Amino acid sequence: MKTSVIGFPRIGRNRELKFASEKYFAGKISEAELLLTGRMQREFNLKTQKNAGIDFISSNDFSFYDNVLDTAFLFNAVPQRYKDLGLSTIDTYFAAARGYQGDKGNVKALAMKKWFNTNYHYIVPEIDDDTKIELVGTKPLDEFTEAKALGVDTKVALIGPFTFLKLARFTGKKSAEDFSSVLTTEYIKLINKLASSGASVIEFDEPYLVRDLNEKDITLFETIYKQILSGKGVLQIFLQTYFGDIRDIYKNVVSLDFDAIGIDFVEGRKSLELVKANGFPKGKILIAGVVNGKNIWKNNYGKTKKILDDLSSIVSEDALVVGTSCSLLHVPYTLESETKLPASYKAHFAFAEEKLIELSEIASSDSAAFAKNAELFANRPDVLDRAVKERVSGIREEDYTRLPVFEEREKIQKQLLGLPLFPTTTIGSFPQTEDVRRYRKDFKNGEISEAQYVAFNEEKIRACIKKQEEIGLDVLVHGEYERNDMVEYFGEHLSGYVFTEKAWVLSYGTRCVKPPIIWGDVSRKEPITVRWSVFAKSCTDKPVKGMLSGPVTILNWSFPREDISLLESTLQIALAIRDEVLDLEKNGIGIIQIDEAALREKLPLRKSDWYSEYLDWAIPAFRLVHSGVKPETQIHTHMCYSEFTDIIPAIDSMDADVITFEASRSDLLILDALKENNFKTEVGPGVYDIHSPRVPSVDEIVGQLKKIREKTEDSKLWINPDCGLKTRGEAETNAGLKNLVAAAKIIREEK
């Protein structure tokens, strides 16, 4: 069998592209130097894949910022305001990606959104009625030709026109349908140019096909591809899908004249069923995405072989290609960079480079490799923790319910806490200044003693509390100085996690994240945050809010295990955090916030899966964390996106007492939806956008609050920024919070 890879990470084994780009943004290197780094990165990727014996290697999977933005620039779907800056091509591109502020003007960046259900973010193309779609770029041609000169005959990977149109934002009257014909024509021009440059295979990536599709979508897709496929000549056209199955369009897709169809058998729950039930046309290639492009565990060859055997009874063996389930962009480069992980752990992981070996071994049915793989899975040196397993299976139905009910708790808490109307608070973190990061690092590296580190942190906390008192906030926080990241910090303090040194994964642009790995059963060794919260409380008479990360977020921002269910993992984490909640309560912390910043983000791509595949266990897991507290203890939660208009009942049934969320940039539509749904939880819609260094004025916040009050009961309204302040500077934070408190005073007095 042959092998195929959809895409390879591009940031660089040692994040070379990140550092070069950031130097270029800072004006420290020239455009030519940046381009050279890009070229070297591409060359490295091509050679790595070629040396691993991969048959179908992509070109054009590289990007200096984002492939969707590349596609927009390729076809001239670039808003005029960026062109008007009069910058070079690459700087116009970066202006659209990152915004521009300088002597040529001041424009905000295009919007950024999550790429399907990954932690990668793409730039949303903006198309208005005057946009003239036209092939103006040469990137795919250049990268194909460059690869060829390096001796690698690639398939040219393009984001398909259907997905591109579905992801674009149409700001005028026209819609996707109005642009589909001209866009198709321009894609065909590109295909012809590629063909004359010697390309023989073009891969259209159409991940949008795994979403819920309606008749109109299907018609749009068919119209586009009938036209593209009718003139393909000797070129081979591959259709590549990923992130799920294509149940709504499978039959249509297989009856079109594609030469190959790539299907995801990892996340595509129904993929195998679809192929079995509907068959697969003779003469076409099926690229079976069986090597997981999103997780870092070794492939279980035995299981994979079963899928391939099933498929080969339907598709002839020479028409079956072994592929990745999606681009390898979503996993780190290589285990070779991990010098601290013991070999016994590494044996169980496969990053991008190791996944190439897996593809070859699976494709060649290498019996020695299969035997070794089987042995590995038979002898997984798990840190199985029987106590954890027993605890999870001992969870009772009533453990998911907090009593008394919300309305009663609300009364008790209002009386006990005695907070003013419109209480003010923050989301938890305060600016992570240079000294904070330095102390944490020095402590980690053993350069300062624990006593020194603790003394430093306590000093920070004391000052932070004092500042908050001066500003006049009502519910104070300790500032989260001890945390690098809201998930890594908890991971480091829980058993069952392992950490990497260089396992970076691209999140957006040049920003990478390093998710911890859930290796074994998760449990809490000892209290994690209690000492800091208790110290903070000792510095003030005002209420101090304890700060925790929630189980769903901790899971979603880690590499999860594949040998147990996400539910089981989440419950293990939930029990660990539950212990922390109860310890905080026992130590006199009467308000506890459990952040679920990433809860919204893993909502399944198909609406029909939202509850059964996710919310039905994620929400109870959250409740399990706080159901054991006393009625007096006020539970807060925080979510980073206000885009939960369509799952409001689920959010309400998290049964927190207060929820804060981002609302300062959105249009407050969420508040209408809350009202319509009789949302019971008290709310703090963020009135201060902490993602920008801009300080909102008192008037602005008062204005915002006026609008909010039209839609929210006064007795349920909290006033707070829209997220943690850790990325902000101290001066702007103080100014912003002062204005926020002043605005609260004004509206209280108006009452």
- The residues assigned a catalytic role are 691
**What does 486 interact with, of Zn ion, ligand GLN, none (CB < 5 to 8 A by kind)?**
ligand GLN
Residue 524-553 contact track with ligand GLN, rule CB under 6 A, x = bound: -----------------------x------
**What does 334 interact with, of Zn ion, ligand GLN, none (CB < 5 to 8 A by kind)?**
none
DSSP state, residue 577 = H
**What does 721 interact with, of Zn ion, ligand GLN, none (CB < 5 to 8 A by kind)?**
none
As given in the structure block, the two tokens for residue 674 are 């809350």
By beta-carbon proximity to Zn ion, the closer residue of 191 and 597 is 597
| 427 in contact with ligand GLN (CB under 6 A) | yes
In whole angstroms, the minimum distance from the beta carbon of 191 to Zn ion comes to 43
> What is the size of the binding site for ligand GLN (CB under 6 A)?
13
With CB under 6 A as the contact rule, the residue among 166, 409, 726, 728 that binds ligand GLN is 726
Which parts of 569-598 interact with ligand GLN (CB under 6 A)? Answer: 595, 597
Instruction: Please list, in sequence order, all residues whose beta carbon lies within 8 angstroms of the beta carbon of residue 519, skipping any fewer than 6 positions away.
Output: 345, 383, 496, 497, 498, 561
**What does 207 interact with, of Zn ion, ligand GLN, none (CB < 5 to 8 A by kind)?**
none
Query: How many other CB atoms are there within 10 angstroms of residue 80's CB atom?
Result: 9
Q: Where are the alpha helices (DSSP H) in 231-279?
A: 250-254, 271-278
By beta-carbon proximity to ligand GLN, the closer residue of 275 and 659 is 659
Instruction: Please list, in sequence order, all residues whose beta carbon lies within 8 angstroms of the beta carbon of residue 441, skipping any fewer than 6 positions away.
Output: none
In whole angstroms, the minimum distance from the beta carbon of 656 to ligand GLN comes to 14
**What does 143 interact with, of Zn ion, ligand GLN, none (CB < 5 to 8 A by kind)?**
none
By beta-carbon proximity to ligand GLN, the closer residue of 427 and 522 is 427
By beta-carbon proximity to ligand GLN, the closer residue of 46 and 594 is 594
> What is the size of the binding site for Zn ion (CB under 5 A)?
3
C-alpha span between 392 and 192 (Å, rounded): 59
In whole angstroms, the minimum distance from the beta carbon of 546 to Zn ion comes to 17
| 640 in contact with Zn ion (CB under 5 A) | yes
By beta-carbon proximity to Zn ion, the closer residue of 211 and 600 is 600
- Which whole-number Å values give the CA distances from 265 to 286, 323, 506, 618, in the listed order? 11, 10, 23, 24
With CB under 6 A as the contact rule, the residue among 355, 638, 711, 728 that binds ligand GLN is 638
C-alpha span between 91 and 102 (Å, rounded): 12
By beta-carbon proximity to Zn ion, the closer residue of 650 and 723 is 723
Q: Give me the amino acid identity at 365.
A: S
In whole angstroms, the minimum distance from the beta carbon of 581 to ligand GLN comes to 15
Contact 666, 674 (CB under 8 A): no
Element (H, E) at 319: none
Task: Note the residue count of the chain.
Answer: 751
Locate tokens 């023989």: which residue? 200
Listed ranges 2-10, 66-74, 357-365, 422-430: which one lies at the site for ligand GLN (CB under 6 A): 422-430
Q: Where are the alpha helices (DSSP H) in 134-199?
A: 139-149, 161-167, 176-196
In whole angstroms, the minimum distance from the beta carbon of 487 to Zn ion comes to 13
In whole angstroms, the minimum distance from the beta carbon of 222 to ligand GLN comes to 41
Nearest residue to Zn ion, scored by beta-carbon proximity: 723
Instruction: Please list, in sequence order, all residues whose beta carbon lies within 8 angstroms of the beta carbon of residue 454, skipping any fewer than 6 positions away.
Output: none
| 711 in contact with ligand GLN (CB under 6 A) | no
In whole angstroms, the minimum distance from the beta carbon of 111 to Zn ion comes to 18
Which parts of 456-485 interact with ligand GLN (CB under 6 A)? Answer: 480
Contact 327, 303 (CB under 8 A): no
Q: Give me the amino acid identity at 329.
A: L
Q: Give 742's Cβ-side CA count (13 Å radius).
A: 13
Residue 143-182 contact track with Zn ion, rule CB under 5 A, x = bound: ----------------------------------------
| 429 in contact with ligand GLN (CB under 6 A) | yes
Which parts of 581-620 interact with Zn ion (CB under 5 A)? Answer: 597
**What does 436 interact with, of ligand GLN, Zn ion, none (CB < 5 to 8 A by kind)?**
none
With CB under 6 A as the contact rule, the residue among 724, 737, 739, 740 that binds ligand GLN is 724
Query: How many other CB atoms are there within 10 angstroms of residue 138's CB atom?
Result: 14
Phi, psi of 698 (to 5 degrees): -60, -45
Name the nearest CA neighbour of 436 among 481, 467, 473, 398: 481
**What does 726 interact with, of Zn ion, ligand GLN, none (CB < 5 to 8 A by kind)?**
ligand GLN
Element (H, E) at 521: strand 517-524
Contact 554, 515 (CB under 8 A): no
With CB under 5 A as the contact rule, the residue among 719, 723, 725, 743 that binds Zn ion is 723
With CB under 6 A as the contact rule, the residue among 262, 428, 479, 516 that binds ligand GLN is 428
Q: Give me the amino acid identity at 156.
A: V
| 723 in contact with ligand GLN (CB under 6 A) | yes
Q: Are strands 682-685 and 658-661 parallel, antiparallel or unpaired?
A: parallel
By beta-carbon proximity to Zn ion, the closer residue of 350 and 639 is 639
Instruction: Please list, in sequence order, all residues whose beta carbon lies within 8 angstroms of the beta carbon of residue 218, skipping any fewer than 6 positions away.
Output: 248, 249, 252
Beta bridge partners of residue 658, listed in sequence order: 636, 682
Beta bridge partners of residue 350, listed in sequence order: none
By beta-carbon proximity to Zn ion, the closer residue of 20 and 640 is 640
C-alpha span between 635 and 630 (Å, rounded): 10
Residues lying near ligand GLN in the complex (CB under 6 A): 427-429, 480, 486, 547, 595, 597, 638, 640, 723-724, 726
Residues lying near Zn ion in the complex (CB under 5 A): 597, 640, 723
